[in-house]
Amino acid sequence: MSTVSKLLSHILLLLLFMTCHADDHYQPLGTPANQLSQQAQWNLSISPDGKDLPTGKGTAAQGAKIFSVKCASCHGPEGIGASADPLHGEVGTLTSDYPEKTVNSYWPYATTLFDYIRRSMPINAPFSLTADEVYALCAYILNQDDIIAADIELNEDSLPQVTMPNRNGFIVIYPDKK
pLDDT, tens digit, 9 for 90 and up, residues 12-34: 776 766 666 655 565 556 666 67
Q: Are 51 and 111 in contact (CB under 8 A)?
A: no
The rounded radius of gyration (Å) of the Cα atoms in the chain is 25
Q: How many helices (H) and strands (E) does the chain have?
A: 7, 2
Non-local CB neighbours of 164 within 8 Å, separated by 6+ positions: 104, 107, 108, 109, 110, 147
Cis geometry, peptide bond prior to residue 122 (ω within 30 degrees of 0) = yes
Non-local CB neighbours of 64 within 8 Å, separated by 6+ positions: 140
pLDDT confidence tier of residue 100, bands split at 50, 70 and 90: confident
List pLDDT tens digits, range 115-153: 999 989 998 888 899 999 999 999 999 999 899 999 999
Question: H or E element: which one contains 57?
Answer: strand 57-58
**Whole-structure pTM value:** 0.73
Q: Are 111 and 105 in contact (CB under 8 A)?
A: no
Please report the pLDDT score of residue 77 as a whole number: 87
CATH of 56-161, one of 3.40.50.2300, 1.10.760.10, 1.10.20.10, 3.40.605.10: 1.10.760.10
**What number of other Cβ atoms are within 10 A of residue 63's Cβ?**
24
List pLDDT tens digits, range 35-81: 766 766 666 778 899 988 999 999 999 999 999 999 999 888 888 77
Give the integer Cα–Cα distance in Å for 134 and 119.
10
Q: Are 121 and 136 in contact (CB under 8 A)?
A: no
